[in-house]
Amino acid sequence: MKDSLKKGIISCFVVLNFGAVLFMNRPTAITQGEEKVLETLDPDRAYLLRYGRWMLQYYAFITGLNNQWQMFGHQSRYNWWYVIKAKYGDGEPRVLPLPLQSERTFLQSVFVDFKETKFHLNLYPRPWAREAYAYYLARQYPVHEGVPISSIIFELHWQAILPREEASMTGVHLDPNITTQVIQTVDFGQL
């Protein structure tokens, strides 16, 4: 293969990857503008452009380039976490001994549990993923004191993060009030 052909292929590859990263991180205003422009085009051209956009998004997904960066994005105004409980028979729900909600060694918390936060973030908007995880937990903790599991309960707990001015004056960055809400209960018949 000639040197110029090799350089051309490498250049195309680099441009494709940079283009995919930039495309996946375009601002929302541009995304909304794209849709308005596509509505004005004839259907055949709009289809081709949508298909091209889908192909680029799929390429970014396959290659792992579809991460969205929000270096200066708005941060959440809440500190939130899950408390995942199991109910056995008609008894009171029990907190499961999972990472982030049970006693952990220093090595576990530093070298193993860091992935749990990302896992919970992925569970947050997806009820079907929480349900699948509940079935996994039911297989891991099927019985407690001879009583079979009847449901898994996902409780969402959150605290407001105080505005900078208030946090500076009080020396505390979290609102002391913790709000709790059951966001999903997965009931099991006979497993």
Longest dimension (CA), the chain: 74
What pLDDT shows up at residue 41?
87
Q: What is the mean pLDDT of residues 148-177?
A: 91
Residues with Cβ within 8 Å of 33's Cβ and at least 6 positions away in sequence, in order, are: none
What pLDDT shows up at residue 69?
66
The model carries a pTM of 0.60
Residues with Cβ within 8 Å of 88's Cβ and at least 6 positions away in sequence, in order, are: 94, 143, 144, 145, 147, 148, 149, 150
Q: What is the mean pLDDT of residues 32-44?
A: 85
**Top-confidence residue, 64 or 153:** 153
Question: What's the Cα-to-Cα distance from 2 to each of 8, 49, 58, 77, rounded to whole Å?
Answer: 10, 34, 31, 56
Phi, psi for 37 (deg, rounded to 5): -65, -45
Lowest mean pLDDT among 12-21, 71-80, 120-129, 178-187: 71-80
Q: What is the dihedral of CA 16, 18, 21, 23, to 10 degrees?
A: -70
Give the closest residue to 125 by CA, choosing from 63, 82, 162, 95: 82
